Amino acid sequence: MVTVPLSRLEPGQTGRICAPEPGESIPLRLRDLGFVPGTLLLLRRRSPLGDPVELELRGYRICLRTEQLAAVRVELEPSSK
């Protein structure tokens, strides 16, 4: 089982959000947007200029800057490329 910061996910890869390490937390705004542990998400693409990235989770799509993704750890799904 591999866990990586969300910022390290490659386009086309799927990950499942992990519970944060003790002493860390997922920012409130991201949690309100549905970034809670157990949620499956797909990194769809990077912007043509490399940043931000487009993510799909909970049936909707959202873009975030890579620097904001470091606070979220995901477990890589085996099915992803």
Partner 1 sequence: MTAAPAAVLGSGPTRVALVGSPNTGKTTLFNALTGSSARVGNYPGVTVERREGQLLGSEVRILDLPGTYALHGETPDEQIVTRILSGTLEGERVPDALLVVADATTLRRGLGLVREALDLGLPTIVVVTMIDEVKARGGKLDIMKLSRLLGVHVLGVVGHRGVGLEPLRGFLRDPASWPRPRALPRAADAEARFAWADQICREVGADRLEPDTRTDWIDRVLLHPVAGIAVFAAVMILLFQSIFAWAVPAMDAIDATFGELGVVSRAVLPAGWITDLWADGILAGVGSVLIFLPQILILFTFLHLLQDVGYMSRAAFVVDRVMGWVGLQGRSFVPLLSCYACAVPGMMAARTVASPRERLATILVSPFMTCSARLPVYTLLIAAFVPAERVLGPLGLQGLVMLGLYLLGAATAFGSAALLNRTLLRGTVSVFYMELPPYRMPTWRLLLRQVWGSARAFLKRAGTIILAASVILWMLLNFPTPEPNPAFSPAEQTRANVEASFAGRLGHAIEPAIAPLGFDWKIGVGLIASLAAREVIVATLAQIYASGEADDYTSLRQALVSDVDPRTGKHVFSLATALSLLVFFVFALQCTSTIVVMARETGSWRWPALAFGYMLALAWIGSFLTYHAARALL
H-helix or E-strand spanning residue 65: none
Contact between 59 and partner 1 (CB under 8 A)? Answer: yes
Shortest Cβ distance from residue 66 to partner 1 (Å)?
Answer: 10
Which tokens belong to 15? 């990950």
Contact between 37 and partner 1 (CB under 8 A)? Answer: yes
Helix (H, G, I), strand (E, B) or coil at 71: coil
Contact between 5 and partner 1 (CB under 8 A)? Answer: no
Window 17-36: residues binding partner 1 (CB under 8 A): 27-34, 36
**Do residues 15 and 80 touch, judged by C-beta distance below 8 A?**
yes
**Do residues 16 and 77 touch, judged by C-beta distance below 8 A?**
yes
Residues binding partner 1 (CB under 8 A):
27-34, 36-39, 45, 47-52, 54, 57-65, 68
